[in-house]
Structures are given as C-alpha cells and as structure tokens.
C-alpha cells in the first residue's frame, strides 16, 4: 500500500505491506430431530486464508465438534450465478453429531485484549466438556528458550508485515510441527486446531502450544478444548487464564523471550 515514511524531518513516498483483514461469518448446518437447520454462529475479523480450518477450530473450542468424524463438509456459502461468498463458511456436521444447541446459542464471549471478564466463564468451560489433561510432556528450559527463535523463522507473513500473530505447535523437544498466522491470536489458534481436524485427526497429544502476544483466557480455553497441556506465550497471561490452567492441570508459561520465562501453573511438567 502507498505510504509516506517520515525519518526525522524528512518525508518520502513509498510502499509498505500490511496485513489483510476481512470479516468471516461462520455458519453451522446440522440435523436436529430429523430436521435440517442452518445457524449463523459468529462473525470474526480475520486474515483471509485457512478459513475452513478457522471455522472448524472455532467449533472445537465451543464443544460442537469433538472428533474429525463429526464434520461432514466445510464449504463457502453459495451465491446467485453459481458463485460462492469467500467470507462466509458453512460447516456441515455429520448426522450422528450431538451437542448442546441451547448452550451454543447462549455462549457468546465478550472479549478484550486481556481475555474474558467474569469467573462464570470457567464454569462454561466445564459445561462444554473440557477434557482431563493427562500428565506430561516433560520439558526442559532449553526447549522453552528456543521457541521464539524457531517461531520467528517460520513466520513468513510476519516478516513482510510485522502485523500478524502466530500459533505454533511444537514437540516436547522443540521441533516445530505446524504454524498458523492471523491478525487475531484466537483466529491463529483456531486455524491451527482446525487444520488437524481437517486432516482427519485431533491435535497430537503431549505437544506444546506457543503463541505470540498475551495468553488470554480465550486462548487457554481453546487450547484446553483441543487437549493441549502446555501453553507458552511471548507476553503476559491474564488472571483468568491462570485460574483455568490451575483448575484443569494445564502448564502455563508467560514472557517466553530473551532466554527467560515465568511459570504460572503446571510447573510439574518442567525439569529445571
């Protein structure tokens, strides 16, 4: 995009690359008591790309999808003339899929940069059927220290724009498995989780999640619903994220940068 770059008192016209941002509407198609239904579920601002993964990951975090077999199809909404709307994604559930329709309709988070306000949100996670996190994996400090460098090297779009967040899955020894980027941290994580479900499998167990920016309640909740036991973040966690990690046995690390980090919950998974 054309910009004016100012250095001191001198200005000159040039161009710069900025992160794309557009709204995505997620719709859910399902069968209830033999009747086909289509529900507008959410609208999120996102970076276009991996939209099917984003929609599926969102449904995993909301408890509507628990296994890859719950998904029948993911498609763009049809328009007249045989065209499709790239900003509307319809997730069609398999007929056998069951979930709490009433809870899904009522459960709308009011988010902020620090996560979600209200202790009642912890109860909502429990109602959604959050999994019991198993012991492990065992992690070393050296593995945690290496995460920022590895992620930065893998963030192709960030290197061009400087404006995207990332969510990355690593093995316990620090090998990068997969990364997704978006203007929103929660969208990047939904894309990451959804990518595995669309591959026909759940998120690999005993791995760790590393995210840019803060560790909000919403990110911790999404990680928990995906069965991820370790959440590490470049920035600070919110108090509700710490509460959730304590309650469900998640390891939560913050300020993971410059060869340092803080352990806010789940220190038993670390060998220091």
Please state whether beta strands 165-170 and 208-211 pair in parallel, antiparallel, or not at all (unpaired): antiparallel
Q: Which residues are catalytic?
A: 114
**Domain interval for residue 33:** 22-127
Residues 156 and 252 in one domain: yes
Q: What is the pLDDT of residues 135-191, one digit of tens each?
A: 989 999 999 999 999 998 887 655 555 568 899 999 999 999 999 999 888 999 999
Q: In degrees, to the nearest 5, what angle opens at C-alpha 85 toward C-alphas 84 and 89? A: 105
For residue 155, the tally of other CB atoms under 10 A from its CB is: 18
Question: Which of 104, 127, 150 lies at the terminal end of a domain, its last residue?
Answer: 127
The CATH number for 39's domain is 3.10.20.10
Residue 110's pLDDT band, with cuts at 50, 70 and 90, is very low
Question: What digits encode the pLDDT tens for the residues 13-71?
Answer: 888 776 777 888 899 999 988 889 998 888 888 889 999 999 999 999 888 899 999 99
Same domain flag for 116 and 75: yes
CA distance 98 to 220: 24
Higher pLDDT pick, 107 / 29: 29
Q: Which two tokens stand for residue 202?
A: 């759940």
Residue 16 forms part of a structural domain: no
Residue 4 lies in a domain: no
Q: Are residues 262 and 162 in the same domain?
A: yes
* Rounded distance between C-alpha atoms, residue 217 and residue 238, angstroms: 6
**pLDDT at residue 193 above 60?**
yes
Same domain for 235 and 146?
yes
Query: Looking at residue 90, what is its pLDDT?
Result: 96
Beta strands in 110-202 (DSSP E): 111-112, 115-116, 139-140, 165-170, 176-182
> Based on the structure, what is the number of domains in the chain?
2
In the block, residue with structure tokens 């479900």: 197
| Contact between 47 and 182 (Cβ < 8 Å) | yes
High-pLDDT (> 90) share of the chain, %:
44
- pTM for the model stands at 0.84
Question: Would you place residue 234 in the very low, low, confident or very high pLDDT band (cuts 50, 70, 90)?
Answer: very high
In a domain, 84, yes or no: yes
Looking up tokens 């050296």 gives 142
């Amino acid at each position: 995009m054309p910009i004016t770059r100012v250095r001191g008192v001198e200005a000159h016209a040039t161009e710069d690359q900025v992160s794309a941002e557009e709204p995505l509407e997620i719709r859910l198609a399902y069968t209830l008591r033999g009747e086909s239904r289509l529900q507008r579920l959410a609208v999120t601002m996102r970076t276009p790309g991996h939209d099917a993964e984003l929609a599926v990951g969102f449904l995993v975090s909301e408890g509507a999808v628990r296994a890859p077999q719950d998904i029948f199809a993911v498609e763009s909404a049809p328009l007249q003339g045989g065209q499709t709307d790239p900003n509307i994604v319809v997730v069609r559930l398999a007929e056998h899929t069951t979930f709490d329709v009433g809870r899904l309709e009522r459960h709308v988070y009011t988010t902020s940069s620090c996560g979600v306000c209200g202790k009642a949100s912890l109860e909502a996670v429990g109602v959604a059927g959050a999994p019991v996190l198993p012991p492990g994996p065992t992690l070393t400090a050296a593995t945690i220290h290496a995460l920022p460098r590895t992620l930065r090297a893998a963030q192709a779009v960030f290197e061009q724009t400087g404006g995207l967040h990332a969510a990355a899955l690593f093995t316990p020894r620090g090998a990068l498995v997969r990364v997704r980027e978006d203007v929103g941290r929660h969208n990047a994580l939904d894309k990451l989780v959804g990518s595995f479900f669309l591959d026909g499998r759940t998120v690999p167990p005993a791995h760790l999640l590393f995210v840019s920016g803060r560790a909000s309640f919403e990110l911790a909740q999404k990680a928990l619903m995906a069965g991820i036991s370790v959440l590490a973040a470049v920035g600070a966690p919110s108090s509700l994220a710490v509460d959730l990690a304590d309650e469900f046995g998640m390891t939560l690390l913050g300020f993971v940068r410059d060869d340092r980090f803080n352990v806010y919950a789940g220190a038993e998974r670390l060998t220091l």
